[in-house]
Amino acid sequence: MVSTGLSRIAQRAKDYPKERFTSLSHHLNAEFLCETWGALNKQGAVGVDRVTATAYAEHLEANLENLANRLKEHRYHAPNVRRVYIPKPGQPNKLRPLGIPSLEDRLLQSATAQIIGAVYEADFLPCSYGFRPGRNPHQAIARLRTALLTESYQWVYEADIRGFFDHLNHDWLIRMFELRIGDPWIIRLIKKWLKAGIQENDGQVRKSTEGSPQGGPISPTLANIYLHYVLDLWFTKAFLPTCRGKVELIRFADDFLMLAEFQQDAIRFDRALRKRLEKFGLEVAEEKTRIIPYGREAWRKGCKEHFDFLGFRHYLGTSKRGKMVVIRHPSPKSIKKFLDRVKDWLSQHQHSHHEVQRKQLTAMVRGFNQYFGLYHCSRKLHGVTREVFRYWHLALRRQSQRSKQTWETWNRKPWFRLPTAKLVHPNV
């Protein structure tokens, strides 16, 4: 089985942490590509070639054999990446670039990411939670809560790397990559993807000299490798031993926090981090980087500071028994982003049948509740659901034949229903 081959790679990487893997590309065969195709998201937007999943699947076996042969004969050329711009959450006037590879390129990137991940999973440190098998944002949030409640941390260093995916340095990444991957054909594939042309909306193509386009399956893996060496290893091996008190790093992709027992260590980390990032072509976003008192001492003094991490806003509160608790709510940015998506969908489908609308809104609300279903979140989730009901009611009123029906009228309809909030993650 192909999965057995990956497990063998992972086991060898764990047993021999200094070994370079010089023979990996043979795993990119038709069988492995077919297995990867089965797990691939086929609902994504089309790339520059406009090939859809349905069209590709019509001759799937032949297409996969053709792709495997081109890889074996080293004739594969990475196509241009289609660039689209989407509004930034909470900043509707600012746009975030998103790269959309072609379907076949996404398939190959996904397969390659699995092979690379099998090697590097043995190297990644426990502080890294993003885009790793068996790890998720709720584990990072749970660790953050546990650390604040049970450890002696009193300060939180909140940081943001400015345009990380846009400024990832290719030369440094390849140097890091080659510490564990010695297969020249895998390395050549990575270089092709990094240097693939970016096709803008007007059809013009520009060459990529830095960064890794967000949207490709390989990008999260490359980001994890880059920050593993730039941040995780440096923090663990170089910075942590020099600290006066306890410190801890919690990272999910390029989002991270540092917890510190003493303010002095947090200040030193800020200075050292800036120098470290500058060496690798990165910088912190000043407006999103700060040190805040956040721990038992801050709670006793009635400190009202809060911070946002992985979509949640974190507060210090007091339980009914008078003990310190960490309260998490969906952040205002997360709520606005979700409600904007609901509003946009309804504006595009305001004349659809009410059952079509109900099915889609149910899926959207259920997904939002599934992620944010933590303790203390119920009130916010109920408020979000009420807003979705309000948007839906307005959309239904715009349908001319129902324009005079009131909110009370719709409430009596058996189909005018959406999922209610509930506790989904009791241990987070």
Q: What is the pLDDT of residues 118-154, one digit of tens each?
A: 999 999 999 999 999 999 999 999 999 999 999 999 9
Q: CA 213, CA 195: separation in Å to the nearest integer? A: 10
Predicted pLDDT at 90: 55
Q: What is the model's pTM? A: 0.91
Mean pLDDT of 25-53: 90
Q: How far is residue 156 from each of residues 15, 152, 208, 314, 407, measured CA to CA in Å?
A: 36, 12, 36, 11, 45
Which residue from 246, 277, 272 is spatially nearest to 259, judged by alpha carbons?
246
Mean pLDDT of 271-278: 96
Exposed, middle or buried by CB within 10 Å (0-12, 13-18, 19+), for 41?
exposed
Q: Strands 198-199 and 247-252, how do they pair?
A: unpaired
How many Cβ atoms sit within 10 Å of the Cβ of residue 375?
15
Q: How far is residue 314 from each of residues 77, 158, 186, 300, measured CA to CA in Å?
A: 46, 12, 42, 17
| Residue 113 clears pLDDT 90, i.e. is over it | yes
Q: CA 24, CA 6: separation in Å to the nearest integer? A: 10
Q: How far is residue 61 from each of residues 31, 114, 208, 295, 306, measured CA to CA in Å?
A: 10, 21, 33, 57, 53
Q: Angle 204-209-211 (CA atoms, 0-180°, nearest 5)?
A: 100
Q: CA 388, CA 374: separation in Å to the nearest integer? A: 20
Mean pLDDT of 77-91: 77
Which residue from 79, 97, 78, 77 is spatially nearest to 87, judged by alpha carbons?
97
More confident residue, 214 or 351: 351
Q: CA 145, CA 232: separation in Å to the nearest integer? A: 20
Q: Which residue blocks in 98-136 are alpha helix, DSSP H? A: 103-120
Q: CA 212, CA 169: separation in Å to the nearest integer? A: 9
More confident residue, 170 or 2: 170
Q: Note whether 201 and 82 are within 8 A (CB).
A: no
Residues contacting residue 92 through CB under 8 Å, at least 6 positions apart:
340
Q: What is the pLDDT of residues 173-210, one digit of tens each?
A: 999 999 999 999 999 999 999 988 888 877 788 887 78
